[in-house]
Amino acid sequence: MSAEFRMERDSMGEMRVPAEALYGAQTARAVENFPISDLRFPRDFIRAIGLIKKHAAATNTALGLVPPAIARAIESAAQEVIEGRWDAEFVVDIFQTGSGTSTNMNANEVIANRAIELMGGRRGDKSVHPNDHVNRGQSSNDVIPTAIHLATLDGVVHRLIPALSELQAVLEGKAREFDPVLKIGRTHLQDATPIRLGQEFSGYAAQVANAISRLRDACRRLGDLPLGGTAVGTGINTHPEFARRTIAGIAAETQLDLREAPNHFAAQGAIDALVEAAGALKGAAVALIKIANDIRWLGSGPRCELGELKLPATQPGSSIMPGKVNPVMCEMVIQVGAQVIGNEAVVSFAATFGNFELNTMLPVTAHNLLQSVSLLTSAAAVFSARCVAGLQADAERCESMIERSLAMCTALAPVIGYDKAAAIAKAAYESGRTVREVAKEMSGLDPVRVDELLDPRRQTQG
C-alpha cells in the first residue's frame, strides 16, 4: 500500500481506506457504492448521532458491557463528533441504503478510530471495535430513526420555534402600531368592507402563533425515540435497561422531552411522527407564504400601486431599471416555502415505504426534514429582522381608497335591505360617484344616518 492508503478489513474482505481518514472499510465501501450526489447528512444529524453514541457508551459501561477505559475513549471521541470536529469524515451520500446503515457505520468507524487514537493505538487496529463497542446494544434500524427524531426535535425546539416566536412578536407589534390605520379590505382580490391595518396584521401574527402550536404538538411524538428496538423492534442483543438509560442521558444533555417509544414495531416499521412533523413544517411554510405574499402586494409600487405599506429597501432591484427596489425578502420567504412544501411531499412518499418491520427511506427523509427546519429557521429570522420590523404604513394612501369602495354599501343592507343597497352600489359604479353620495339621494335615510352607517371605523368594529 502507498502512503496515501491503509488496508482495513470488514466482513466482506479487505478494503483500501485513505490513510488519514478516521472512517474505515465499510464507509470506504459505501463511498464507492453510492457516488450519487453531493448531498451529505447535515450538522444537526451528525450531532444527534454523536449524542446517541456518547450516551450509549456511558450506559454500556454502567451495565458492565463495555470496559470503562474503552467507554471513556468512545465518549470523548463522540463528544468531538457532537462539537463538529469531524464533520468532514461523514462522507456517505444521502442516497444510499434505505436504513442508513452506511452512515451508522460511518459514525461507528470514525468514533472507534478516534477512540483508538485517544488510547494510544493505531487507526484501524480494532482495539476499539466499531460494532462490538461503539454500536453495542444498537442497530442502524433504531439508531438512524432515533437520530432523525432527535435532530428534528432539537432544531424545532431550540431554533425554529424561537425564530417564529420572534416573528410573531414583531407582527404583534406592527398590529398595535398599525391599529389606527383604516384601509379597505379585499376578498377575491376585489374591494370589500373596511378593515384596520392592525387587524390585518393581527391575523398574520395569529397564523404564526398557530404554526408554533402545531409544531409543539408534533414535538410530543418526536420525543418518542425508536432506540432499543434494534433490528426489528424486539430489542434483540440489547440490555433491557439500555434504551431507557441512554435516552435519559441524551435528554439531560439536550434539555429535550425524550422517552423510549411505547411500541418499537410502530417506531421502526413506520415514520408517522416524522410525517406529522413534516406536515407541521409545511403548515408553517404555507403561513409564511401567505404573510409574505400579502406584504409583497400591499407594498407594490411605489407610484402605480396598492402602496399601503412601505417596505424597507434592502438592495437594488434591477440590472436595467435604475432606482427600482424589489420586495426581495418576501420573495425569499415564498421560495423557501415552496421548497418546504416539496420536502413534505418527499417525506410523505417515504413513509409509504414502511415495509413490514422497517422503513427503507430514512436518509432521504432526514435530508428533507432537516432542510425544512433549517430553511424555515433562517427565513423567519431574516424576514422578521430585514422586512417586517421595518414596515411602515402609508395611512393617507390606505384611507384615501376607502371612500371609493362600492362595498361600503354593505353597512346599509341591514337597514334598507339588500336589493336597495345593491341598487345604490350599481348606481355609484355607473356614475363614478361614491356610495355615500348616492345613498344620500336613494336610500330614503337622513344624511346624518347615512354618514353614521358609512363610518368606516364603525364598520371595522363588528
How far apart, in whole angstroms, are the C-alpha atoms of residue 247 and residue 138? 13
Burial profile 309-320: b = 16 or more Cβ within 10 angstroms, e = fewer = bbbbeeeeeeee
Helices and strands in the chain, H and E counts: 18, 10
Strands (E), 79-197: 182-187, 190-196
CA atoms within 13 Å, Cβ hemisphere of 455: 9
3-state SS class at 330? helix
**55 carries an active-site annotation:** no
CA distance 170 to 205: 8
Residue 188 a catalytic site member = yes
CA 66, 67, 69, 70 dihedral sign is: negative
Nearest Cα neighbor of 8 from 88, 110, 126 is 126
Residues forming a β-bridge with 7 = 16
Catalytic annotation, pick one of 188, 213, 239, 319: 188
Catalytic residue among 213, 318, 400, 431: 318
CB 184 within 8 A of CB 194: yes
Q: Show which residues are catalytic.
A: 188, 318
